[in-house]
């Protein structure tokens, strides 16, 4: 495994990768342990693409991903990556997209377990009422990311 950190406008992120792809992108939280840093060419490219995203210069990511979810989680994460930049959808919309319209709570659980935030844009999922709801990186980060995308759409 390879790890690096990246400063962003909303705090420091930890990025992880295997030989096959990106495995982890998440914002540091108080009490998080920092693993030994050992960058790879893939991590350098991931940082470059994330920096371009945060600057508003890029809306897409072109990185191999190496996730280790259940088949259901993988289908949800794939549906999240299909949400267009600058748009939001509800958990119900994702449940319908994965052909399981009654699985709204399970979609929420898979969304919560997304190991690759921003690249797999779980921040684009909101409540059916249009209200912003939970985000593992913190509600301040979710609000920032949605505002960044609205302003650069």
62 belongs to a structural domain: no
When pLDDT is cut at 50, 70 and 90, the band that residue 13 belongs to is: very high
127 belongs to a structural domain: yes
Q: What is the CATH number of the domain that holds 84?
A: 1.10.10.10
- pTM of this structure: 0.91
SS3 122: helix
Rounded to an integer, the average pLDDT of 141-152 is 95
Decide if pLDDT at 135 tops 80.
Answer: no
Decide if pLDDT at 101 tops 90.
Answer: yes
When pLDDT is cut at 50, 70 and 90, the band that residue 32 belongs to is: confident
Rounded to an integer, the average pLDDT of 8-16 is 94
60 belongs to a structural domain: no
63 belongs to a structural domain: no
Domain count along the chain: 2
Decide if pLDDT at 30 tops 90.
Answer: no
49 belongs to a structural domain: yes
- What's the chain's length in residues? 153
- CB half-sphere exposure, 56, CA atoms < 13 A: 9
Please indicate, yes or no, whether residues 114 and 42 belong to a single structural domain of this protein: no
Per DSSP, 93 falls in state: H
98 belongs to a structural domain: yes
124 belongs to a structural domain: yes
Q: List the catalytic residues.
A: 122
Q: From the centroid of its chain, how far is CA 101?
A: 22
Domain limits for position 110: 71-152
Please indicate, yes or no, whether residues 46 and 89 belong to a single structural domain of this protein: no
Which pLDDT tens digit goes with each residue over 37-95?
788 999 999 999 999 999 999 999 999 999 999 999 999 999 999 999 999 999 999 99
Please indicate, yes or no, whether residues 76 and 110 belong to a single structural domain of this protein: yes
- 64-90 exposure pattern, b = at least 16 Cβ within 10 A, e = fewer: ebbbeeeeebebbbebbbebeeeebbb
Decide if pLDDT at 122 tops 90.
Answer: yes
108 belongs to a structural domain: yes
Which pLDDT tens digit goes with each residue over 103-116?
999 999 999 999 99
């Amino acid at each position: 495994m390879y790890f690096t950190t990246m400063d962003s406008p909303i705090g420091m992120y930890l990025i992880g990768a295997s030989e096959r792809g990106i495995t982890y992108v998440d914002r540091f939280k108080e009490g998080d342990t920092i693993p030994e840093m050992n960058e790879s060419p893939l991590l350098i490219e991931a940082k470059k693409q994330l920096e371009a995203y945060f600057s508003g210069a890029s809306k897409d990511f072109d990185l191999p991903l190496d996730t280790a979810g259940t088949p259901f989680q993988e289908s949800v994460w794939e549906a999240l990556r299909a949400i267009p930049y600058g748009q939001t959808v509800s958990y119900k919309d994702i449940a319908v997209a994965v052909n399981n319209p009654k699985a709204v709570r399970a979609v929420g659980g898979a969304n919560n377990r997304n190991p690759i935030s921003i690249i797999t844009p779980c921040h684009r999922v909101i409540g059916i009422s249009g209200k912003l709801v939970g985000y593992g990186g913190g509600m301040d980060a979710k609000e920032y990311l949605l505002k960044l995308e609205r302003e650069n759409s």
